Amino acid sequence: MHNSKAHIWFIAPAIILMIIILIFPLFLAGGISFTDYNLGNKTFDWVGLENYDKMFNRKTYVKMIWATATYVIVVVPISVVLGLCAAMLLNSLRFGADIYKTIFFLPVMATLLAMAIAWEFTLHPTLGIVNSFLANGCGGVREFILGFHWLPWVDSQESWYAVACANNMDFPYWLKQKNTAIWTVCFIGIWQAFGFNMVLYLAGLTSIPRELYQAAEMDGAKSTWEQFKLVTWPMLGPTTLFVVTITTIRTFQVFDTIEILTKGGPSKTTYVMMYAIFEKAIQQNLTSIGAAITVVFIGFILVLTFFQRYVIEKRVHY
Amino acid sequence: MEAKQYIGEGWKHAILIIGAIVVMLPFYMMVSMSLKSQQEIQSISGGLIGAQETQTFPVCVKTGYSEETCTMKPYQYNYWFAFEKAPIPRYLMNGVIVTLSIFIIQVLVALPCAYALAKLRFYGREFVFSMVLFCLLIPVHGIALPLYVMLAQAGLVDTYSALILPWTISVFGIFLMRQFFMTVPDELIDAARMDGMGEYAIVWKVMLPTAIPALLAFAIFSVVAHWNDYFWPRMVITGNRDLFTPPLGIREFRGGIDSDEFGPMMASIVTVTVPLIVAFIIAQKRFIEGITLTGMK
């Protein structure tokens, strides 16, 4: 056994940095959120829960919670399910899986901000290929498929597609319209996230022993769906839990697409928390309210992670 | 049976190809716009690369260049003019400086700590480790505001330090390297001690070389995250163009969206985005491994 004090020098920098950079700011945010402090002020007063009161009662912040919740509730399940579907499809392919894997992973890699701008142009009402693709499809197969005319209850004169065609190609201004902006941002979020989940699921799938499928088949689970229900899904339990948690945490932190594309608008429909913190605290210099949002935000994330680690983790391990 | 399987395979490819087209749409749009002329962009014509007719570009002439200089093919013009208008190499340089500094400091801090947590026995080790585990829960973006207040009080806004400091501690790096060091046999370290090596030498000459694969994955994880990060630079760099990282540069180009020159704007965005994508395509396996590292938690 060695007898040196080396360990002090080894751990000291890490401990000091952890305290200054990670732990102290938690308390600082908590402290500021009970004051009326704004950056640059020399003094401040304690105001108790006033900032929190504003947050849960003022319209802007209620909208913020709605926008954040909508974004998370839409993006997480869809990107997880898409990731799983993509992984299972790729896993069952005879050839070409690597190419798809590369393509689906590209959005994870690419600078999100740049891709957001690329999407902005792709969805641009006059310059974008999406709307020109739609406009050129009026009266054709595209209208039939994307206008949902194949559903028995959709009237082919009244579908959104037919109406837009009839009104001089009045297709949505995806990112500028109150009723489409949040869904468009969600779509970009899903586009960006699902490849990451796919890769994690692919790793999860390879760790399932083949014998389990043979055993399931002997027990009478012949169809793909039955095998999925009996073997794949339960065996992927830990992966799913992890994928859901990490996607939720990342989704909560959405900022880039919002800042560059919608600035929280139109009428605060995409006003997510990270953007609110940035706008209030940095642009409008309302540090204390920004701190209150920060505290709630961190609270959400900590609760989520604890939930994963200590409550569910015990149940999904086989 | 055979035929049925082929049909099944065909369906799968059909679905995946549609998915791939949707995924590739913005990439296509980005590259296409960076190559085409303004007229072709506005009329959505010319396919991927446009007609590439040599022409004189009015905006370029207005900026003060001679007509001769401004006569060229659209793709040449877009990329040439992008570099003329913005200090793109500077942005890329800043990206390299910031990401490398962050990574190097992260390793300098994390490696000795991970070694101590994995291989040295000392009073309070469990406490330090549980502190690491707790800090793993804190998303640095989430505490950006208090960090910003601290940096502002220290007068560090608009400096390289502001870009680098908050990321110098990677608790994930400590955790990862500790897990890795646990698998290194004690005999290796004992032998090194017998040879008279000090603890410092052991960390850098014995442990570091064994950790190269894990370190490489961590490098990719760290570099990709900070190269692409937009939120933090946006917070702490307010106006100084000399400190712009690639994403801030992109944002600046985007300012030109209301002007009538989309080609050069997209060209600059492509230039800034491409290095990482090329690196990814060359070393896919490593990248996927590195970026999904968090999957090991």
Mean residue pLDDT across chain A: 85
Residue range B119-148: mean pLDDT, rounded: 88
CA atoms of A68 and A197, how far apart (whole Å)? 21
Q: Indicate the residue of B165, B168, B276 with minimum beta-carbon distance to A109.
A: B276
Q: Last residue of a domain, which of B85, B102, B122?
A: B85
Nearest chain B Cα distance for residue A186, angstroms: 14
- Binary contact (B277, A106; C-beta < 8 A): yes
Q: Which domain holds residue B38?
A: 2-85
Residue range A202-229: mean pLDDT, rounded: 84
A44 φ/ψ angles, rounded to the nearest 5 degrees: -155, 160
> Tell me: the pLDDT tens digits for A81-102?
999 999 999 988 888 888 999 9
Q: What is the pTM of this model?
A: 0.88
DSSP A247: H
Mean residue pLDDT across chain B: 85
Q: How confident is the model at residue B260 (pLDDT cuts 50, 70, 90)?
A: low
> Tell me: the pLDDT tens digits for B60-110?
777 777 777 778 888 888 888 888 888 889 999 999 999 999 999 999 999
Same domain, B53 and B128: no
Same domain, B24 and B92: no
Q: How many CB atoms lie within 10 A of CB B217?
A: 21
pLDDT confidence of residue A1: 45
Nearest chain B Cα distance for residue A118, angstroms: 5
Same domain, B74 and B113: no
> Tell me: the pLDDT tens digits for B204-240?
888 888 888 888 888 888 888 899 999 999 989 987 8
User: Which token pair is B44?
Assistant: 């959505």
From chain A residues 45-64, the ones with a CB under 8 A of any chain B CB are none
Lowest mean pLDDT among A191-200, A230-239, B98-107, B258-267: B258-267
Is the backbone peptide bond immediately before A13 cis, with ω within 30 degrees of 0? no
pLDDT confidence of residue B296: 46
Q: Is the pLDDT of residue B43 over 50?
A: yes
pLDDT confidence of residue A95: 84
pLDDT confidence of residue A318: 45
- Binary contact (A109, B277; C-beta < 8 A): yes
Q: How confident is the model at residue A215 (pLDDT cuts 50, 70, 90)?
A: confident
Same domain, B64 and B98: no
Query: Taking Cα atoms as reference points, which of B20, B43, B276, B190 lies closest to residue A194?
Result: B20
Lowest mean pLDDT among B1-5, B181-185, B257-261: B257-261
Q: Last residue of a domain, which of B20, B52, B85?
A: B85
- Binary contact (A14, B41; C-beta < 8 A): no
Same domain, B188 and B67: no
Domain harbouring B116, CATH code: 1.10.3720.10
Same domain, B62 and B118: no
DSSP A281: I
> Tell me: the pLDDT tens digits for A246-305?
888 889 889 999 998 888 878 888 999 999 999 988 888 888 888 999 999 999 888 888
Query: Taking Cα atoms as reference points, which of A3, A20, A10 lies closest to residue B117?
Result: A10
CA atoms of B286 and B288, how far apart (whole Å)? 6
- Binary contact (A122, B29; C-beta < 8 A): yes
Q: How confident is the model at residue B202 (pLDDT cuts 50, 70, 90)?
A: confident
SS3 A46: strand
> Tell me: the pLDDT tens digits for B137-175?
888 888 999 999 999 888 888 889 999 999 999 998 898
Same domain, B137 and B261: yes
**Cβ-based contacts of A17 with chain B (< 8 Å):** 109, 168-169
Same domain, B259 and B125: yes
Tell me, yes or no, if A146 comes closer than 8 A to chain B by beta carbon.
no
- Binary contact (A260, B140; C-beta < 8 A): no
Residue range A36-42: mean pLDDT, rounded: 80
Residue range A41-52: mean pLDDT, rounded: 81
pLDDT confidence of residue A184: 92
Same domain, B200 and B265: yes
Residue type, B22: V
pLDDT confidence of residue B63: 74
Q: Is the pLDDT of residue A316 over 60?
A: no
- Binary contact (A200, B19; C-beta < 8 A): no
Give the number of A-B residue pairs with CB atoms closer than 8 Å. 251
pLDDT confidence of residue A153: 80
- Binary contact (B23, A22; C-beta < 8 A): no
User: All domains of chain A, ordered by start, with CATH?
Assistant: 50-125+172-316 (1.10.3720.10)
In percent, the amount of chain A with pLDDT more than 90 equals 29
Q: Assign 3-state DSSP to chain A and report helix, strand, coil percentages, each to 5.
A: 70, 0, 30
Task: Give the list of residues 6+ apart from residue B297 with CB closer than 8 angstroms, or none.
Answer: A242, B136, B172, B175
Shortest CA distance from A12: residue in chain B: B113
Q: Using the structure block, give the residue that is written with the tokens 């990719």.
A: B220
Q: Is the pLDDT of residue B247 over 70?
A: yes
Tell me, yes or no, if A177 comes closer than 8 A to chain B by beta carbon.
no
CA atoms of B174 and B182, how far apart (whole Å)? 12
The tally of domains found in chain B comes to 2
Q: Last residue of a domain, which of B85, B107, B138?
A: B85
Same domain, B142 and B182: yes
SS3 B71: strand
In percent, the amount of chain A with pLDDT more than 70 equals 96
Same domain, B30 and B97: no
Q: How confident is the model at residue A17 (pLDDT cuts 50, 70, 90)?
A: very high
Nearest chain A Cα distance for residue B90, angstroms: 18
Torsion of CA A107, A108, A114, A117, to 10 degrees: 50
Shortest CA distance from B281: residue in chain A: A102
Q: Is the pLDDT of residue A32 over 70?
A: yes
CA atoms of A191 and A172, how far apart (whole Å)? 19
Same domain, B150 and B184: yes
Q: Using the structure block, give the residue that is written with the tokens 């970026």.
A: B291
One DSSP character per residue, chain B reads: -HHHHHHHHHHHHHHHHHHHHHHHHHHHHHHHHHHS-HHHHHTT-STTT-----EE-HHHHHHT--TTTTEE-HHHHHHHHHHHHS-HHHHHHHHHHHHHHHHHHHHHHHHHHHHHHHH---TTHHHHHHHHHHHTT--TTTTHHHHHHHHHHTT-TTSHHHHHGGGS--HHHHHHHHHHHHTS-HHHHHHHHHTT--HHHIIIIIIHHHTHHHHHHHHHHHHHHHHH--HHHHHH--S-GGG--HHHHHHHHHGGGGSS-HHHHHHHHHHHHHHHHHHHHHTHHHHHHHHGGGGG-
**Cβ-based contacts of B15 with chain A (< 8 Å):** 89
